[in-house]
Amino acid sequence: MTAERARAARLAKARLYLVATVPAAAVHAPGAGPGAALDQLLDRIAAAAAAGAGLVQLRVKQASAGERRALLERLRARLPADTLLLVNDDLDAVVDPAGRPLADGVHLGREDAAALAPPEVEGGRAARVRAGLVSARRRLGPELLLGTSVRTLDELAAAVEAGADHAGFGAMADSPSKPDTVRADPAELSRCLAAFERFPLFPIGGLRPADLDGLKRAGCRRAALGSSILQADDPAAVVRECLRRLAR
């Protein structure tokens, strides 16, 4: 099986997407050796992945591409071999200077996708987001994964046409990591699921394990969670609970 097919097959099977936010203070803290806050957080992410979070996004703001590459390497060494690892909003961090992939792909939010659009693109933000995703797909090539954020059927259709192979749908609720959250319409989620039955779509944004029952009733068997897993006393137990709720 080619690398492209292997990643696509693992993505199709993924039910739980862990969005792992690493505080900038942890990245820049001096003496980040064994037992430091950063290592403890990376270990918690790895425990969640081992329990069944098959898709992990490393999200760290206010860091350079080099710092993100270093974090990706440290995290990859801890993750199960079949875990898909993405990096948030940084195409330059996906591969090292020698061209070796450090992540399985990238997640681009709307603003970061729009920033990749060629300057001559006209037609407003939606056109620039689509053009930016097309540009990102060209840079990634066919093997690496491209994810983005959507909250309407039109946005999802445009993302699919531009080459995205999965997306986060939301926000479903207020998110502690994104204070400027704009909530999505749950009815629109149902329309997206009906229109793109085979497309990996992950509701995201402030979700807790108990919220997954409602997603399941809406016909969705996937979800993306972050702080409700990583801030729990036992991240692995929360992952297992989420998977049970999505499966039953």
* Burial category of 145 from C-beta neighbours within 10 Å (exposed 0-12, middle 13-18, buried 19 and up): buried
Q: Which has the closest alpha carbon to 234: 47, 73, 37?
A: 47
Mean per-residue pLDDT for 125-147? 96
Mean per-residue pLDDT for 218-233? 96
Q: Which residues pair with 150 in a beta bridge?
A: 169
What pLDDT, on the 0 to 100 scale, is given for residue 123? 83
What pLDDT, on the 0 to 100 scale, is given for residue 36? 80
What pLDDT, on the 0 to 100 scale, is given for residue 182? 76
Q: With H, G, I as helix, E, B as strand and everything else as coil, classify residue 150.
A: strand
pLDDT grade, residue 155 (50/70/90)?
very high
- Rounded Cα gap, residues 183 and 22, in angstroms: 23
pLDDT grade, residue 248 (50/70/90)?
confident
What pLDDT, on the 0 to 100 scale, is given for residue 34? 47
Backbone angles phi, psi at 141, to 5 degrees: 80, -175
What pLDDT, on the 0 to 100 scale, is given for residue 212? 96
What pLDDT, on the 0 to 100 scale, is given for residue 31? 55
Specify the pairing of strand 201-204 against strand 55-59.
unpaired
Specify the pairing of strand 84-88 against strand 105-108.
parallel
Contact, 220 vs 203, CB < 8 A?
Answer: yes
Residue 195: is its pLDDT beyond 80? yes
What pLDDT, on the 0 to 100 scale, is given for residue 175? 65
Q: For residue 58, how far is the Cα from the chain centroid?
A: 8
pLDDT grade, residue 185 (50/70/90)?
very high
Domains observed in the chain: 3-247 (3.20.20.70)
Number of neighbouring beta carbons within 10 Å of residue 93: 24
The first and second tokens of residue 98, run together, are: 């020698």
pLDDT grade, residue 4 (50/70/90)?
low
pLDDT grade, residue 183 (50/70/90)?
confident
Mean per-residue pLDDT for 128-132? 97
CA atoms within 13 Å, Cβ hemisphere of 190:
9
Chain mean pLDDT for the chain: 92
Whole-prediction pTM = 0.93
Mean per-residue pLDDT for 35-55? 93
